[in-house]
Amino acid sequence: MNVHTKTLLVVINASPYRSTRARDALDLVLTAAAFEIPLTLLFCGDGVFQLVADQRAAAIGHKDLAATLPVLPLYDVKRICVEQAALAERDLDPAQLLLPVEVLGSAEAAALFHHHDQILSF
Protein backbone atom coordinates (compact mmCIF):
# COMPACT_ATOMS: atom_id res chain seq x y z
CA MET A 1 0.00 0.00 0.00
CA ASN A 2 1.22 3.43 -0.78
CA VAL A 3 1.29 5.37 2.49
CA HIS A 4 3.13 8.38 1.08
CA THR A 5 1.09 11.47 0.51
CA LYS A 6 3.95 13.79 -0.45
CA THR A 7 4.85 14.06 -4.09
CA LEU A 8 8.37 14.70 -5.28
CA LEU A 9 9.73 16.65 -8.23
CA VAL A 10 13.29 15.71 -9.12
CA VAL A 11 14.89 18.38 -11.30
CA ILE A 12 17.89 17.09 -13.22
CA ASN A 13 20.01 19.86 -14.60
CA ALA A 14 23.43 18.20 -14.52
CA SER A 15 25.30 16.88 -17.53
CA PRO A 16 26.15 13.18 -17.20
CA TYR A 17 29.91 13.08 -16.49
CA ARG A 18 31.01 16.49 -15.18
CA SER A 19 30.21 15.54 -11.57
CA THR A 20 28.46 12.82 -9.58
CA ARG A 21 25.19 14.79 -9.61
CA ALA A 22 23.67 12.77 -12.42
CA ARG A 23 24.49 9.50 -10.69
CA ASP A 24 23.27 10.85 -7.33
CA ALA A 25 19.96 11.89 -8.86
CA LEU A 26 19.46 8.48 -10.39
CA ASP A 27 20.27 6.72 -7.09
CA LEU A 28 17.73 8.92 -5.34
CA VAL A 29 15.07 8.32 -7.95
CA LEU A 30 15.50 4.54 -7.84
CA THR A 31 15.40 4.56 -4.03
CA ALA A 32 12.33 6.79 -3.89
CA ALA A 33 10.62 4.65 -6.52
CA ALA A 34 11.40 1.49 -4.55
CA PHE A 35 9.54 3.08 -1.63
CA GLU A 36 6.66 3.95 -3.94
CA ILE A 37 7.04 7.69 -3.40
CA PRO A 38 5.10 9.36 -6.21
CA LEU A 39 7.62 11.33 -8.23
CA THR A 40 8.08 13.24 -11.43
CA LEU A 41 11.41 13.65 -13.18
CA LEU A 42 12.18 16.83 -15.05
CA PHE A 43 15.26 16.93 -17.25
CA CYS A 44 16.29 20.47 -18.12
CA GLY A 45 19.44 22.35 -19.13
CA ASP A 46 22.45 20.11 -19.70
CA GLY A 47 20.55 17.36 -17.87
CA VAL A 48 19.02 16.45 -21.22
CA PHE A 49 22.47 15.23 -22.35
CA GLN A 50 21.91 12.28 -20.00
CA LEU A 51 19.23 11.09 -22.39
CA VAL A 52 21.39 10.91 -25.49
CA ALA A 53 21.49 7.39 -26.95
CA ASP A 54 24.80 5.69 -27.84
CA GLN A 55 26.73 6.94 -24.83
CA ARG A 56 29.88 4.91 -24.17
CA ALA A 57 30.96 6.09 -20.73
CA ALA A 58 33.62 3.39 -20.48
CA ALA A 59 35.70 5.40 -22.96
CA ILE A 60 36.42 7.88 -20.14
CA GLY A 61 36.38 5.30 -17.36
CA HIS A 62 32.86 6.03 -16.10
CA LYS A 63 29.96 3.77 -15.33
CA ASP A 64 27.26 3.89 -17.93
CA LEU A 65 24.34 6.00 -16.71
CA ALA A 66 22.58 5.29 -19.95
CA ALA A 67 22.27 1.64 -18.97
CA THR A 68 20.24 2.55 -15.88
CA LEU A 69 17.93 5.22 -17.23
CA PRO A 70 15.79 2.93 -19.40
CA VAL A 71 14.75 0.92 -16.31
CA LEU A 72 12.91 3.89 -14.81
CA PRO A 73 9.53 3.01 -16.34
CA LEU A 74 9.91 -0.50 -14.82
CA TYR A 75 10.31 1.15 -11.42
CA ASP A 76 6.94 2.76 -11.94
CA VAL A 77 8.35 6.26 -12.38
CA LYS A 78 5.21 7.60 -13.97
CA ARG A 79 6.31 10.86 -15.51
CA ILE A 80 9.66 11.46 -17.14
CA CYS A 81 9.51 14.99 -18.49
CA VAL A 82 11.92 16.98 -20.60
CA GLU A 83 11.96 20.70 -21.18
CA GLN A 84 11.39 21.25 -24.89
CA ALA A 85 13.59 24.36 -25.06
CA ALA A 86 16.55 22.48 -23.60
CA LEU A 87 16.22 19.82 -26.31
CA ALA A 88 15.75 22.40 -29.04
CA GLU A 89 18.79 24.51 -28.18
CA ARG A 90 20.93 21.35 -28.21
CA ASP A 91 19.31 20.09 -31.41
CA LEU A 92 18.21 16.84 -29.76
CA ASP A 93 15.30 14.93 -31.26
CA PRO A 94 12.99 13.57 -28.53
CA ALA A 95 12.37 10.49 -30.68
CA GLN A 96 16.10 9.66 -30.63
CA LEU A 97 16.50 9.66 -26.83
CA LEU A 98 17.26 6.49 -24.92
CA LEU A 99 13.85 6.28 -23.30
CA PRO A 100 10.36 7.62 -24.04
CA VAL A 101 9.82 11.03 -22.49
CA GLU A 102 7.07 13.60 -22.11
CA VAL A 103 8.18 16.80 -23.83
CA LEU A 104 6.94 19.92 -22.04
CA GLY A 105 6.86 23.56 -23.07
CA SER A 106 8.40 26.01 -20.60
CA ALA A 107 5.02 27.00 -19.10
CA GLU A 108 4.03 23.37 -18.51
CA ALA A 109 7.46 22.60 -17.07
CA ALA A 110 7.24 25.68 -14.82
CA ALA A 111 3.86 24.46 -13.53
CA LEU A 112 5.49 21.27 -12.21
CA PHE A 113 7.29 23.35 -9.56
CA HIS A 114 3.92 24.35 -8.09
CA HIS A 115 2.28 20.95 -8.28
CA HIS A 116 4.63 18.87 -6.16
CA ASP A 117 5.10 18.94 -2.40
CA GLN A 118 8.88 18.83 -2.51
CA ILE A 119 11.58 19.67 -5.02
CA LEU A 120 15.02 18.11 -5.17
CA SER A 121 17.47 19.61 -7.62
CA PHE A 122 20.53 17.98 -9.10
Partner 1 sequence: MVLHTVCHSPYQHGALRQCLRLISAPAALLLMEDGVYAATRAAAELVAIEPAIEIYALQADLDARGISATLNPRVTPIDDRGFVELSLHCARMQAWY
Residue ranges in contact with partner 1 by CB under 8 A: 11, 13, 44-45, 83, 85, 106-107, 109-111, 113-114, 116-119, 121
Contacts of 34 (CB under 8 A, 6+ apart): 75
CB of 32 to partner 1, least distance (A): 16
Query: What is the C-alpha to C-alpha distance for residues 21 and 110, in angstroms, rounded to an integer?
Result: 22
Nearer to partner 1, 10 or 69 (CB): 10
Query: What is the C-alpha to C-alpha distance for residues 41 and 52, in angstroms, rounded to an integer?
Result: 16
Nearer to partner 1, 20 or 106 (CB): 106
Nearer to partner 1, 24 or 75 (CB): 24
CB of 69 to partner 1, least distance (A): 21
CB of 61 to partner 1, least distance (A): 25
CB of 71 to partner 1, least distance (A): 26
Of the candidates 54, 53, 41, which has an alpha carbon nearest to the alpha carbon of residue 14? 41
For the chain, strand residue ranges (E) read 8-12, 39-43, 79-83, 102-104, 118-121
Q: 33 and 75 in contact (C-beta within 8 Å)?
A: yes
Nearer to partner 1, 71 or 110 (CB): 110
